[in-house]
Amino acid sequence: MPILLIAEHDNKEVRPFTLNAISAASQINEDVNVLVIGSNSEEVAKSISQVPNVKKVIHVNNSIYENYLAENYTSVIVKLSDGYSHIVCSANTFGKNLMPRVAALLDVSQVSDITKVLSEDTFQRPIYAGNAFATVKSNDKIKCVTIRPTSFDPAPTSGGSAEIQNSDAGEATEISRFIKKEEIKSDRPELGTARVVVSGGRGMQSGENFKLITAVADKLNAAIGASRAAVDAGYITNDHQVGQTGKVVVPDLYIAVGISGAIQHLAGMKESKVIVAINKDGEAPIFSVADYGLEADLFEALPKFLEELNKLNTIQK
């Protein structure tokens, strides 16, 4: 039986984590159908049909889906769920909000945030903020699974030509309404997919001082991250937060500056390939996960770091 994957998009473009979820889904079963629920979202359906791993796109196009509400999406997904072995989507705030509502109506015990596919019913997932990994086997007839996007490579976006099938809308919800979204637009790479992430913590001491982080991030074409302490202190907005309750990142290079390394922060970054810690407290827990630790005052080290980077002429973009 095929897999039904729920796409995340803004009616114009597919959000990147959908591609990581498609990769994971094709490891479960190669027959992946993608459901696009949207309004004037033809472009989204078309671009997903070009993903080679996708066998069929089901497009539900109606003005009631101009903005994503879990209540609206759920009725369509439940209606279309017959004949599928799995319903999957990414385990970011989109999928975390949506999937349990679907699972409960199907009377399914959901498997959240998988990091590995071991077989069609057995998965690995982190528990306790990634301080342990559980291997779990789902016994439900339909399996509802959310996928940790950073644990799977994104699927290629061209070369495919899946059929696009239109399907009817569900009923519009009257119990909840979208009001607004304050999106922070940036020219930088997205935090979840960037090759390099430079993060600041409480040690930055102010929002103004984050310009030191910004300068290094500009040089390395990096995304900017932050610890919860820095966000709570108002130094930077919440969309930068890395950790158990923020974003999980797995870049090639993660540079933690003025971050002590609480368990909750480590949960969001310790799978990074190379970790650098710059902190003046030599006993800070961040050093226990760092490949390269520099015990130094960040206000001296960061400008010096930038100066040294400027001397190199081989920085990868």
Residues 150-189 that bind other proteins (CB under 8 A): 173-184
CA distance 316 to 226: 23
**DSSP secondary structure string for all residues of 257-317:** ES----HHHHHHHTT-SEEEEEES-TT-GGGGT-SEEEES-HHHHHHHHHHHHHH-S----
CA dihedral 36, 30, 108, 65 (to 10 degrees): 0
Chain positions 267 to 286 lying near other proteins, rule: CB under 8 A, are 270, 273-276, 282
User: What is the rounded distance in angstroms from the CA atom of residue 153 to the CA atom of residue 315?
Assistant: 23
Question: Which residues, 100 to 119, sit near other proteins by CB under 8 A?
Answer: 100-105, 107-113
Query: For helices 210-220 and 298-311, what crossing angle results, to 10°?
Result: 20
Question: Rule CB under 8 A: is residue 301 a binding residue for other proteins?
Answer: yes
Amino acid identity of 278?
I
Choose which of 12, 46, 128, 153 interacts with other proteins (CB under 8 A). 128
Q: What is the smallest separation between the CB atom of 162 and other proteins, expressed in angstroms? A: 26
Q: How many residues bind other proteins (CB under 8 A)?
A: 92
> Residue 19, interface with other proteins (CB under 8 A)?
no
Question: Which has the closest alpha carbon to 94: 184, 9, 3?
Answer: 9
Per-residue contact flags (x/-) with other proteins for residues 25 to 64, judged by CB under 8 A: ----------------------------------------
* Contacting residue, 40, 63, 135, 166, with other proteins by CB under 8 A: 135
CB-nearer residue toward other proteins: 165 or 237: 237
Mutual orientation of helices 93-105 and 70-80 as an angle, nearest 10°?
Answer: 50
**Tokens 């982190």 sit on residue:** 126
Between 59 and 270, CB nearer to other proteins: 270
Tokens 């796109």 belong to residue: 57
Q: Write out the binding residues for other proteins, residues 65-94 only, by CB under 8 A.
A: 69-71, 74, 92-94
Contact 309, 315 (CB under 8 A): yes
Among 82, 132, 187, 208, binds other proteins (CB under 8 A): 132
> Considering only residues 215-274, where is the footprint of other proteins by CB under 8 A?
220, 228, 231-232, 237-239, 244-245, 247, 252-253, 263-264, 270, 273-274
Of the two residues 55 and 228, which places its CB atom closer to other proteins in the complex?
228
